Structure 1
Amino acid sequence: MTSVGNVLRRPCTGPAVWRAPDLADSEGWVLRLSPAHLEELEVAARAVRERGVPLLKVTVEDFVLPSLAARLGRVAEELENDRGFVLVKGIPVERYSLPVASIVFWGLGQHLGVPVSQNAAGHMLGHARDTGRTLADPSTRGYQTRAELPFHTDGCDVLGLLCLRAGRSGARTRLVSSAAVHNAVLARRPDLLEHLYRTHFLDRREEQAPGEPPCDAVPLAAWYGGKLSMRYNRRYLESAQRFAEVPRLKPADRELFDLVDELAASAEFRLDVGFGPGDLLLVNNHAVMHSRTEYEDFAEPESKRHVLRLWLTAREGRDLPTDYWGDPRSTRSASGRGGIEPRDVILTRNPAGTARRPRPSLTATRPDRTENE
C-alpha cells in the first residue's frame, strides 16, 4: 500500500545517530545569537511594520538579514544532514509585543522553509498553549492542552517552536534520535523491524475534509534515498482504532510501540533540552522525535505559557516516498509537502457567538491566517 522502499536491516550510521550522553555536555547544537544578529532582527521587523506588509505575506525578500541569513542556511543544513535539531537562544521576546515576536518568528522561518497549514482552520502561525481542552475529545490536538505529550513527530518536515512565556512548572522538552531508536529496535527485537515499515493508521483528529478518510495510512519508517525517516505518534495510532474500517492492532504492533516508547524515554537516548523564553527550537521531524512533559500553568492570563509554532517544508529536504504523508491522491499541502489542508468551507461567527452560514475559504489562494485571526 505504501512505497516505503527497502527495509533497512543494518544499523544506521552518521551524525543523525546520537544518544543523550553524546550531546549533553556539548553546545554544538546551540546557536547563540550575537548582538549584531539581534540588531538585524530588529531592523528587519521594523522595516516590515513600516511598510505595512501583512504578517503572513512576509517573504525572505521582506525580512532581510545581511549576516544571519548565511548562518540560518547552515542551520538548515544541520537539520537535514546532521543531528536533526538546533536550539537558537537569545531572542529578546521580553522586549517584543506579540505582533513583533510573530514577525521575527515568521521572518526567521522564511529563511528556513515554506510554512504549511497546521490544522483544518488554515492556521499558518500556531499558538501552543492550554485551552482547557482534553485529549479525550477526538478533535483536540496535543498543543491545545497542558497534558504530557509522549515522544512523537509532527506532520511536516521541520517543526519550529519559539517560547514567549514558560508555565509555572513542568513542560520539560525532550528529544531523541529516531535513527538511534531504530538501531536499538534492530538490536533488541529484530523480529519487530518489519512492523516499523508496514502500513499503520494515524488518526487525523477530525481535521479531514468531508469525504476524506479519517486516518492517514502511512509507514512508521521509510528507508528511501539513502536516509531513514520515521513517523510516530502512539496516541494517534491508538485513537485510530475507534474507526471500524481501520485494521486492529496486532500484539506485535503494541510490543513495538512499547519498545519505542521505552527506548525514547530512557536516559540513555533522551536529551533533555532547556527551553525557556527567547529560545527557538527547530526539529527535523524525519530524524528526531520530541516530547513535552505535563505542566502547571499560572492563573493570570498574561503569565500563562505561550509558544509560537511553525510547520515548515524544508527548501532542500530529503527525498520521500510519494505517499509518505498518506493517500497520494489527497489535495492537502498544495503549498508544500506535509501540513493539513484547510477545509473548503469554514463557519464565521457573529459577535454573539452563533454560527452564520458557511462562506468559501480563502486559504487556498490567500494563506495569511494565524490562530488569532
Structure 2
Amino acid sequence: MIDREIDGQIAWTRATLAPVEGWMRLSEACSAELLGAAAQLRAHPLPVLALDPVDFDLGHCRRAMADIRQMLAHGPGFAIVDRLPLERIAREEAVALFWLLSSLIARPVAQKWDGTMVYDVRDTGRPPGNGVRPDITNAEQSFHTDNSYNLCPPEYVGLLCLHPAMEGGVSRIVSLVSAHNEVRRRRPQVLPRLYRPFYFDRQREHAPDDIMVTHHPIFEVESGRLHGRLSRFQVRNGQALAGVPLDAEGETALDELDRTMDRSDLCMDFHFESGQMQFLNNRQIAHKRTGFRDWPEPDRKRHLVRLWLRDHGRRSYNG
C-alpha cells in the first residue's frame, strides 16, 4: 500500500491540467501518410487483423504515436487525437487506419474470449447485466477501467468515434492516482480495504467450465507505481455470483472512491466528434460515459470502435 501523496503528471486535477495537455492534432504530414495508406489498401486489400505498420510509409505517424505512448505511460495518462479525415475515406478504411496508428502505441489484443480484436461500441437496446457489457447499452456508466475482471487487462485503450450520439454520451475521465490521493487525505481509514480483493463478474468471457469470477484488489502497486482495476458494476455482480455478500467495509470504501471520482474538480469531460481518437492508460485512468439519446436514423447512430493494447502476455483474451 502507498501511504503518501503521489505526485507527477499523472496526479492531475481539473485545475492543474493545462487546456492543451493531452491533446494532439494530427499534422498535415501524418494526414498525408494516412491517406496514402488508405490508397494502398484500396489497391492491395488486406483484412484489418493482418495489417502491420511496417508495410506502410508512416514515419511521421510513428513519431506522433511515440509521443502519445509517452503521454500515456509517463504523462497525464490520456491523449485526444484530432482527427482521422472521415470525409475522405470509407468507414472500413478509417478502422484500418485506427488499427495501424494504435499498433504504433502497443500491440492490439483480443477483447473477448472468442478472440474478437476489433470491438464495436453501439447501443444494442439490451439492459446491462451478466453477459451484457454496459458499453453496448445507452445507460450511464460508472467510472471503471476496461476489462477489470480479466486475468490480464489491457495497458491502454483506444477509441475511434465514427458517429457521436444525438444527445449526451459525454466521455469523462479521472486520474486514479489523484482519486487515491484524495481518499487518503479525506478518508484514510477506508484506503486499506481497496488494497484487498473483491470478486469481479467475468461477464461470461471464459470457457464454459471455467470459474465465473476473479478476485482482485482495486489498487495495487506494480514496479513502484499505483495501478488500479475498477468496476463497481462487475464487483456487485461478482460478489453475488460468488455467494459472498460485500462486506460493510468494502461497501464504504467503494462508495468513498465513487464520490471522489465523481467530483467535478477531479474529472474532465470530452465531447467526442467524428474522426477523433481517445487513448487511455487503462491502469491509471478511469473513464465513464454519460447516458445518451441516439439518432433515429440507423446510419447516424452512435458508433465507436475500440481497441485494447497490451505488450505483455499472449494476444489472446487471457494473455
TM-score interval for Structure 1 and Structure 2 normalised by the shorter chain: over 0.9
1:104 matched residue in structure 2 = 97
* Displacement of 1:215: 1.0
What aligned pairs does 1:345-356 form with structure 2 within 5 A after superposition?
none
AA matched with 2:314? A
| Aligned counterpart, 1:308 | 305
Q: Distance in 2 between matches of 1:272 and 1:36?
A: 29
Which of 271, 274, 281 lines up with 1:274 in the alignment? 271
Consecutive unaligned residues of structure 2, counting only runs of 5 or more, are 148-153
Q: How does 1:331-350 map to 2 (within 5 A)?
A: 334-335=314-315, 339-340=317-318
- Which residue of 114, 118, 121 maps to 1:125? 118
Equivalent AA in structure 2 for residue 335 of structure 1:
R
Q: Which residue of 1 aligns with 2:168?
A: 170
Q: 2:134 corresponds to which residue?
A: 142
Tell me the alpha carbon deviations over residues 334-366 of structure 1, each in whole angstroms, 9 at most, x when there is no partner.
Answer: 327xx457xxxxxxxxxxxxxxxxxxxxxxxxx
Corresponding letter in the other structure for 1:306: H
Q: Deviations over 1:197-245 (max 9, x none)?
A: 11111111111112211111112111121211011100000011222x3
**What is the aligned-residue identity percentage?**
31
* Contact 1:205-1:214 at 8 Å conserved across structures: yes
Aligned length: 313
Q: For 1:192 and 1:162, how far apart are their aligned partners in 2?
A: 37
Cα distance in 2 for residues equivalent to 1:334 and 1:225: 21
CA distance in 1, matches of 2:288, 2:138: 12
1:162–1:308 Cα contact (<8 Å) kept:
yes
Amino acid at match of 2:263: S
1:8 alignment partner in structure 2: 2
1: CA distance, partners of 2:7 / 2:47: 44
The alpha-carbon distance between structure 1 residues 78 and 150, as it changes in their structure 2 partners (threshold 3 A), is: same
3-state secondary structure, aligned to 2:101: helix
Paired residues for 1:1-373 under 5 Å: 7-23=1-17, 25-135=18-128, 137-155=129-147, 156-243=154-241, 245-314=242-311, 334-335=314-315, 339-340=317-318
- Is the Cα–Cα contact under 8 Å of residues 161 and 280 in structure 1 kept in the other structure? yes
| Aligned counterparts of 1:56 and 1:273: Cα–Cα separation in 2 | 29
Shift of 1:289: 0.3
**Distance between the aligned counterparts of 1:28 and 1:285, measured in 2?**
18
TM-score (norm 1): 0.81
- Aligned partner of residue 160 in structure 1, secondary structure: strand
Structure 1 residues 94 and 147, CA gap change in structure 2 (3 angstroms): farther
What is the CA–CA distance in structure 2 between the aligned matches of 1:288 and 1:130, rounded to whole Å? 24
On the 8 A contact 2:61/2:101 being kept in 1, the answer is no
User: Which whole-Å CA distance do the structure 2 matches of 1:120 and 1:33 have between them?
Assistant: 34
Provide the secondary structure at the position in 1 that maps to 2:184: helix
Instruction: Note the C-alpha offset of 1:91.
Output: 1.4
Contact 1:173 1:291 in 2 (8 A): yes
Give the direction of change, closer, same or farther, for the CA distance of 1:233–1:192 in structure 2 (3 Å limit): same
2:200/2:216 contact within 8 Å kept: yes
Gaps of 5+ in 1: 1-6, 316-332, 342-373
Alpha-carbon shift at residue 90 of structure 1 (Å):
2.3
Q: Structure 1, residues 137-188: CA drift from partner, whole Å, max 9, x if none? A: 4110111111111110012111100001111100011110000000111111
Q: CA-atom RMSD, angstroms?
A: 1.5
The residue that corresponds to 1:363 in the other structure is: none
Residue identity matched to 1:17: A
Q: Give the superposition deviation at 1:246.
A: 4.6
Q: Which protein has the bigger helix share?
A: 2
